[in-house]
Chain A
Amino acid sequence: MGSDLPASSTDNAQRPAILVLEDGSTFPGISVGAEGERAFELVFNTAMTGYQEILTDPSYAGQGVVMTYPQIGNYGIALADDESDRCWANALIMRQLSPRASNWRADMTLGEYLEQRDVLGIEGVDTREITLKLREHGALRAVMSTQRFDVESLVEIARNHPSLEGQDLAARVSCAAPYPWDEPLPPDPDGKGRSTTDSLIAPDAPHVVCYDFGVKRNILRCLVSTGLRLTVVPAKTSAEEVLALKPDGLFLSNGPGDPAAITYAHEEVRKLVQGGLPTFGICLGHQILAHVFGASTYKMKFGHHGANHPVVETNGRIDISSQNHGFAVDAESLEPSGLRITHRNGNDGTVAGMEHESLPVFSVQYHPEAAPGPHDPQHLFQRFKHWIVTGRPAKI
């Protein structure tokens, strides 16, 4: 038999928590966040840093995240690194949570943050075992509770929890009203890198309207630092309302849920891109573009969630990328759409980027804005600006 049970804390006032999967497997552990009971889709993330950015990324709405790296919370929380104004993941599942935050920028410990932001947290569970289960069986629904420990009823709850397939979660996480954004990327973490004044936006800078399907702040920062003027609009903004803002370019953000379910966005974006507006989509935005041009998406077995995925461009360039998606664009469905594949995932060959053959439209499945993850593909924001300014795609 195995040896996995709540590990090792000398704290006597431990609160119990349990994670139950739809296949009936149970993972008892120690509660280290908010109190409560929540059901979600379970995903694992293989990034070794960046738990805070992951928690606050709206694309994780409706999901519980297993961190594969066993020591989480080591450097605590620096509030400036939040990717939105709240946590969206329902639960954070860890092997071992650091009781202490060791970093000069830390504002609090991860445990304190989970409690404050109302996220369930569990430590002491065998995260590798959960990861292997997800790899073998594909995405699983699960429930975590700090209140109820009756396994049978918890399994029922997990099994009755709706799948992400067919769900429009973008509308839920999107902003309520349009707003301008002018904050650029921060200086390097030691404060001695590029100056924030480099990217003050000129009044005549090209104006980009960004559809917020669950946008991460670092995308907005990257766009601003490229020298673009930004207005962020809610997911359900009509094409007419967007055009009234006189955009020079259109950006489609990342976000949670099933891209096929957001039919209102397919309609409005179609009107905008067919008018020739230069358009760039990331993640959910990339999947929406596939639907706009009549292609389709599907739910992957367990998706890509990590910071080490190679992306291969047709010209041979390879970027190590940050990825977080459970749906993907069906390569075969692209044939009649006018979209052509420009990037593939180096591990499994799935569609990672595409471009339209005649319209100024391109998109990627991965996250050039990083946060967390490598900065390799950040050049894509320059490519977008180049397209807006010159009307032509940048020479790669």
Chain B
Amino acid sequence: MPRRTEIETILVIGSGPIIIGQACEFDYSGTQAIRALREEGYRIVLVNSNPATIMTDPELADATYVEPISVEFIEKIIEKEKPSVILPTLGGQTALNTALELFDSGVLEKHGVEMIGAEAAVIRKAEDRDEFRQAMDNIGLKSAPSEIAHSMDEAQAAVEKIGLPCVIRPAFTLGGSGGGIAYNQEEFEQIAARGIRLSPVNEILIEKSLLGWKEFEMEVMRDRKDNCVIVCSIENLDPMGVHTGDSITVAPAQTLTDREYQHMRDASFAIMREIGVETGGSNVQFALNPADGELIVIEMNPRVSRSSALASKATGFPIAKFAAKLAVGYTLDEIQNDITKETPACFEPSIDYVVTKMPRFAFEKFPLSDSTLGTQMKSVGETMAIGRTFEESFQKALRGLEVGRVGFSGKRREFTPEELAHKLSRPAPGRIFAVYDAFLQRYTVEEVARLTGIDTWILAFLERLAHADATLEGRVLTDFGVNEMRTLKQMGFSDARLAEATNSSEAAVRAHRKELGIAVGFRLVDTCAGEFEARTPYLYSTYHWTRDEIPMQSKRRKVII
């Protein structure tokens, strides 16, 4: 299907200032989309109040307005620029909510502006808790038992039905802000009142708690011919109860059988169709009961989401760019895979490495704030790491956080069983290091799993890493032979960690390692696990390699700034 030629000018809404839950992800997606649409010859008008964005660079859009993202300002821009369509699905929740306000206040109709990517009714169906729950019922999928409330009286009646602990989710807010988990009546009253106040429609959802269930995400794309693909599956290391933005996550999903994975894939497409997202990307979140596989749909974002940036970089499939092309009428088979340059984008990436995302917190700057993690996002950023195995990618991601950690290791801390139980069962930024301590105190995988709710597959590797790390302490560097050194490097142990443990320097470790003939190599992210040749030099470092995969054209001299 050809692109829409009757469109001349497209209005793109950015995501405004950086806040928790909405950071540079949406500059990334918006910038990609603006480039892709200009390539197609459209005139792009952008509004974003955040000057520290690539998308507001004057040469990127045809007209850029650094103005507040509000109905009043945008209406003036519409009057002046006369866009035929507005694309609200790339600027996070801010853009989506603003577009909805523009629609509701009649501004779009008055000026004849069409919403592309997602219609108002679709946004409402996905975002309104009651409509969403009804939609899930229609297609035979389960959502968590829940009740809607608009006042404290309604909230009280609801919690009597649902029981405690329960989750409180305000409608139409960012990163779950204003929500939380209430364990007792006092907490419930406090969170419910706050939620009603913060929701732009004064609405909260009181939901049965699925604490301890496994959490998965699916990144889905759909085009106007109803072709649907899964770009990436993501498994949360932290179980339900921790906001996915605060969770350590791993891609692809690791612990689903093919039958479970395909069931989740079918469910994702059914949701996309029932909600009515006709083109573009969406993110669907699921909870899975590890005891019996029961599947519950948590929510769906009918837009390019925070996870889309991660999924794009994890797979080499640029979700925002393709979402923009789909919004103006292309179909997936008409778009070329950016990496192979030969095969079409209508496929599902297969990856042959493991991706770990690690949230970055900044509680040190706010010593009085509560660092317990819950349904309201608290992390301020994240790092992503690619490794050939989970261990390599996990340790790399930890180092990327720049919190002074050289990997999955730490000072040996002795805790009483009570202290450890508390540290393991309370989700908080440093919890993963309490897992380390527990393994050094000879806790079993099952015990740690029971206290943390972290999957045993993940914990088995963390146990192995912790024990390997503990044996390094006080060793003599030159005692490490080639096999042990290679094994350690493949498990993701850094030169810095080995230097620290052997009381030497990184330079000395590196020199010894080189002498043993062990060097880092680079492998390609190619979207297809090696099946086709990749033309784009997108690489990750690993110690699991035998062949130098750096493409010839990128071997020219370069400068690192």
Q: Does B490 contact A (CB under 8 A)?
A: yes
Q: CA of A50 to CA of B487 in the docked complex: distance in angstroms?
A: 28
- Interface of B (DSSP majority class): loop
User: Which among A78, A347, A373 has the highest number of chain B CB atoms within 10 Å?
Assistant: A347
Shortest B291–chain A CB gap in Å is: 6
Q: Which residues of B contact A7 (CB under 8 A)?
A: 389, 487, 490-491, 544
Q: Does A41 contact B (CB under 8 A)?
A: no
Shortest B225–chain A CB gap in Å is: 6
Which residue in A70, A306, A346 is a CB contact (below 8 Å) of B333? Answer: A346
Contact B388 A100 (CB under 8 A): no
Q: Which residues of B contact A318 (CB under 8 A)?
A: 225, 227, 332-333, 346
**Minimum CB distance partner of B345 in chain A:** A310
Interface residues of A in 302-356 (CB under 8 A from B): 306-310, 312, 316-318, 320, 346-347
Known: A2-B521, A95-B389, A347-B344. A131 touches B456 (CB 8 A): no
Q: CA of A217 to CA of B290 in the docked complex: distance in angstroms?
A: 27
Q: Which residues of A contact B468 (CB under 8 A)?
A: 10
Q: Which residues of A contact B547 (CB under 8 A)?
A: 2, 129, 132
Q: CA of A318 to CA of B225 in the docked complex: distance in angstroms?
A: 9
Contact A105 B293 (CB under 8 A): yes
Q: Does B188 contact A (CB under 8 A)?
A: no
Known: A10-B468, A70-B353. A374 touches B252 (CB 8 A): no
Contact B487 A190 (CB under 8 A): no
Interface residues of B in 252-297 (CB under 8 A from A): 252, 254-263, 265-266, 289-295
Which residue in B255, B290, B343, B533 is a CB contact (below 8 Å) of A347? Answer: B343
Contact B262 A373 (CB under 8 A): yes
Interface residues of B in 452-484 (CB under 8 A from A): 455-457, 460, 464, 467-468, 483
**Minimum CB distance partner of B292 in chain A:** A104
Stretch at the interface among B166-174, B356-364, B524-532: B524-532
Shortest B230–chain A CB gap in Å is: 8
Q: Which residues of B contact A189 (CB under 8 A)?
A: 257, 259-260, 263, 293, 295
Shortest A64–chain B CB gap in Å is: 17
Q: How many A-B residue pairs have CB under 8 A?
A: 210
Which residue in B257, B531, B545 is a CB contact (below 8 Å) of A4? Answer: B545
Q: Does A167 contact B (CB under 8 A)?
A: no
Contact A46 B258 (CB under 8 A): no
Residues of A within 8 Å of B, CB-based: how many? 65
Q: Does B517 contact A (CB under 8 A)?
A: yes
Which residue in B227, B351, B391, B531 is a CB contact (below 8 Å) of A69? Answer: B351
Known: A2-B546, A346-B347. A103 touches B333 (CB 8 A): no
Q: Which residues of A contact B531 (CB under 8 A)?
A: 44, 46, 68, 131, 135, 306
Q: CA of A99 to CA of B390 in the docked complex: distance in angstroms?
A: 14
Q: Which residues of B contact A48 (CB under 8 A)?
A: 252, 350-351
Q: Which residues of A contact B530 (CB under 8 A)?
A: 44, 46, 68, 128, 131-132, 135
Which residue in A4, A68, A310, A317 is a CB contact (below 8 Å) of B529? Answer: A68
Interface residues of A in 187-234 (CB under 8 A from B): 188-193
Known: A191-B292, A346-B347. A128 touches B352 (CB 8 A): yes
Q: Which residues of A contact B290 (CB under 8 A)?
A: 104
Contact B259 A8 (CB under 8 A): no
Shortest A217–chain B CB gap in Å is: 13
Contact with B along A33-53 (1 / 0, CB 8 A): 000000000001011111011
Residues of B within 8 Å of A, CB-based: how many? 74
Q: CA of A54 to CA of B410 in the docked complex: distance in angstroms?
A: 42
Q: Which residues of B contact A192 (CB under 8 A)?
A: 142, 294
Contact B257 A102 (CB under 8 A): no
Q: CA of A44 to CA of B529 in the docked complex: distance in angstroms?
A: 10
Known: A46-B531, A131-B529. A95 touches B388 (CB 8 A): yes
Shortest A21–chain B CB gap in Å is: 13
Contact A308 B347 (CB under 8 A): yes
**Minimum CB distance partner of A308 in chain B:** B348
Contact with A along B148-183 (1 / 0, CB 8 A): 000000000000000000000000000000000000
Contact with A along B325-367 (1 / 0, CB 8 A): 0000000110000000011101111111110000000000000
Q: Which residues of A contact B519 (CB under 8 A)?
A: 1, 3
Known: A95-B544, A100-B460. A49 touches B354 (CB 8 A): no
Q: Does B439 contact A (CB under 8 A)?
A: no
Q: Does B486 contact A (CB under 8 A)?
A: yes
Shortest A62–chain B CB gap in Å is: 21
Q: Does A81 contact B (CB under 8 A)?
A: yes
Q: CA of A186 to CA of B257 in the docked complex: distance in angstroms?
A: 14
Shortest A45–chain B CB gap in Å is: 9
Shortest A35–chain B CB gap in Å is: 23
Q: CA of A192 to CA of B486 in the docked complex: distance in angstroms?
A: 47
Q: CA of A191 to CA of B263 in the docked complex: distance in angstroms?
A: 11
Known: A53-B258, A95-B389. A69 touches B529 (CB 8 A): yes
Contact A371 B460 (CB under 8 A): no
Q: CA of A115 to CA of B457 in the docked complex: distance in angstroms?
A: 21
Contact B343 A346 (CB under 8 A): yes
Which residue in B229, B252, B490 is a CB contact (below 8 Å) of A3? Answer: B490
Q: Which residues of B contact A46 (CB under 8 A)?
A: 350, 352, 528-531
Contact with A along B308-340 (1 / 0, CB 8 A): 000000000000000000000000110000000
Closest 7 CB pairs of A and B: A2-B546, A102-B457, A50-B258, A372-B258, A68-B529, A131-B530, A308-B348
Selected A-B contacts with CB under 8 Å, 20 pairs: A2-B521, A4-B544, A5-B483, A10-B464, A69-B352, A70-B354, A74-B255, A74-B457, A75-B255, A96-B389, A100-B457, A102-B460, A126-B544, A135-B532, A191-B293, A306-B529, A320-B347, A320-B348, A347-B344, A373-B258
